[in-house]
Amino acid sequence: MMGKARDIRTAVADELVFDPLVDSAGITVASTGGDVALNGTVPSSPLYLAGAPAARRVAGVTGVHNRLEVVLAPGDYRDDPVLATAARYALELNLTVPGTVEASAHHGNVILTGTVAYGGQRAAAESAVATLTGVRSVRDDIEISCDARPVDVLTAVQDALDRHALIPDDSDVIVATTGNTVTLTGHVATWAEHDAMLNCAWMTPAVYDVRDELVVSGRPG
């Protein structure tokens, strides 16, 4: 078991070096079996976001804890009014983000507020501001508001899962709804399958929240 843990840790570290979107210089990897933690510092928000997806691509990884901290280079600092203005402009330029979303900034942390109709709009807002120079983190306080019956939400999510090419027909994943909150339970073989299921749920109109209770086995079927 210890040898396997070391192999996964080494493989994740190698993947971080391999991925051109990751700056691995300040990152250390720890693992307990397939449970991986990324520790250390990176110089920007995009590099913070790139670490976990790279680790999840490694065979045998069943969980990733992103504990990286963004430490901006001196030339990348922006004061709060400048950063807030840049964030608002980025939101305006993104056609997916409705005008109901607002942005403010506090010590390099961008806070998003307002309302959207579905999860894809909220994800688009996060992406629009996360890559701006001077951003240390993004706090998403956007609310989703859309009229739809919970039974219709359940049917729409299940239909989306059934259509998806990455999700096997014999999947044991169960979709449940409480109001407009979707809960996914069951087993998936890979992180690609896991992410496909969450994306299907979040893309469905009138889904206000998605509870991820999926178990990643790390063993393709």
From first to last of its 221 residues, what are the pLDDT tens digits of the chain?
A: 445 555 999 999 999 999 999 999 999 999 998 899 999 999 999 999 999 999 999 988 989 999 999 999 889 999 999 999 999 999 999 999 999 999 999 999 999 999 998 888 988 999 999 999 999 999 999 988 776 666 788 888 889 888 988 888 888 999 998 877 899 999 998 888 899 999 888 888 778 888 999 998 865 54
- The string of pLDDT tens digits covering residues 179-205 is 778 999 999 988 888 999 998 888 887
* Domain finish residue from 144, 168, 201: 144
* Domain finish residue from 13, 40, 70: 70
Of the candidates 77, 196, 83, 28, the residue with the CA atom closest to the CA atom of residue 10:
28
Of the candidates 81, 86, 186, the residue with the CA atom closest to the CA atom of residue 131:
86
107 in a domain, yes or no? yes
Q: What is the model's pLDDT at position 154?
A: 84
Rounded distance between C-alpha atoms, residue 122 and residue 107, angstroms: 22
* Domain finish residue from 128, 144, 160: 144
Q: What is the model's pLDDT at position 148?
A: 64
Give residue 210's Cα distance to chain centre. 12
Phi, psi dihedrals of residue 216, rounded to the nearest 5°: -90, 115
Q: What is the model's pLDDT at position 2?
A: 43
221 in a domain, yes or no? no
Q: Are residues 91 and 122 in the same domain?
A: yes
123 in a domain, yes or no? yes
Q: How many CA atoms lie within 13 Å of 88's alpha carbon, on the beta-carbon side?
A: 12
* Full-model pTM: 0.74
Q: What is the model's pLDDT at position 130?
A: 95
Q: What CATH number is attached to the domain comprising 23?
A: 3.30.1340.30
- Domain boundaries, position 60: 2-70
Q: What CATH number is attached to the domain comprising 127?
A: 3.30.300.130
Q: How many domains does the chain have?
A: 3
Rounded distance between C-alpha atoms, residue 170 and residue 101, angstroms: 40
